[in-house]
Amino acid sequence: MFFASMIDSNARTNRPRAGRESGGIRNQGEELMIEKPLVESQDLLNQPGALRQRLAEDGYIFLRGLLDRARLQGLRMEILEICQKHGWLLPGTRLEEGKGRADAYSGYFEFTPVYREMQYLENFHALAHDPQILKTLETALGGPVFPHARNIARITLPGSSKMTTPSHQDYVFIQGSPEVYTVWFPLSDCPVALGGLGIARGSHHAGIFPTKEAEGTGGLCADVDESKYEWHKGDFFLGDVIMFHSLTVHKAYDNTTADLLRLSCDFRYQPFSAPQVVWDSFRPHMQHHGWENIYKNWKQDSLRFYWHQYALQLVPCVHPAQVKPTVKRG
């Protein structure tokens, strides 16, 4: 991959292992931010009890090499072809490099023609049904899960700090049951400089934080004292995955590279033991198209309206800003 040189060459052999490694402390405004490496959990895949405990305690599990790299590279190339079609890539660069224009779009990525076209990709939606993802979540949660259909992809432009996703809880935007889990992974090697994720370890235990308006994807952030938590972050390699609870506070980091696009996927999953779900979780993200249009050229009939077979409890949703917090402001 063209990103490998951005990551310390020793990282592949000296990765942080399970445990509580010492980390750094840095200032963010007047707050002291405690940062530590993401704790790897792939060694616990054959220890269901320990994996379950790790997820319950930390609010996330980070797994190296869970997904097939070739499959992810294939989807990445499909997305980059769409970017190239719409003039987002730098002239004179190779498609696989993923070098993009910093001014490729303004405002929210979700409203661009590129994202509307990406939502047609069968391989993108099929990836949410990857057996390794489902098996891992079922092991970690102790029972079967179902994927939401509102699959999300993101492209972060180089130097696009204004649109970086701020600290938030996914539950505010998903709703239904809090027992929903996000699966996030990049479609390339992703050093922190390319815009990885930061996780506030154990923040899901607090409850639902109040929200306030903020710049960046979603337009809302959690009103939380970030200095009260350890922030876990680290470099991702293609195939690495992070899974976290819907109440776990997390954020993205700025893409500070000169010219690289960061491509990533956000999928959501829910155990059948918590069947409360909102109907929007089975609509296409942003609802640019209906499912019939999206399915028109698909090959796999088994993925069409797959949720119709489930016995779920539909519950109403509200605007994210109206979600009632359980944590007092301040």
CA–CA dist 310, 269 (Å, integer): 13
CB 199 within 8 A of CB 38: yes
Residue position matching structure tokens 């661009």: 112
Answer whether residue 217 is part of any domain. yes
Could you tell me the residue range of the domain that residue 313 belongs to?
23-322
Answer whether residue 44 is part of any domain. yes
Tell me the pLDDT of the chain (330 aa) as tens digits. Answer: 444 444 443 333 334 444 434 355 555 544 578 999 999 999 999 999 999 999 999 999 999 999 999 999 999 999 999 999 999 999 999 999 999 999 998 878 888 999 999 999 999 999 999 999 999 999 999 999 999 999 999 999 998 777 788 999 999 999 999 999 999 999 999 999 999 999 999 999 999 999 998 877 778 999 999 999 999 999 999 999 999 999 999 999 999 999 999 999 999 999 999 999 999 999 999 988 999 999 999 999 999 999 999 999 999 999 999 999 999 876
Answer whether residue 10 is part of any domain. no
Answer whether residue 1 is part of any domain. no
**Measured distance between the N- and C-terminal CA atoms of the chain, rounded to whole angstroms:** 44
What CATH number did the domain enclosing 170 receive?
2.60.120.620
Q: Exposed, middle or buried by CB within 10 Å (0-12, 13-18, 19+), for 246?
A: buried
CA–CA dist 198, 59 (Å, integer): 12
Please choose, from the candidates 148, 111, 172, the residue with its C-alpha nearest in 3D space to the C-alpha of residue 319. 172
pTM: 0.90
CA–CA dist 281, 269 (Å, integer): 10
CB 248 within 8 A of CB 61: no
Answer whether residue 8 is part of any domain. no
Q: Tokens for 14?
A: 């000296």
Answer whether residue 211 is part of any domain. yes
Domain count, the chain: 1
Answer whether residue 264 is part of any domain. yes
State the DSSP H helix or E strand holding residue 26, giving kind and residue range, or none if neither.
strand 24-28
Answer whether residue 95 is part of any domain. yes
Angle at which helices 48-58 and 131-141 cross, to 10° = 80
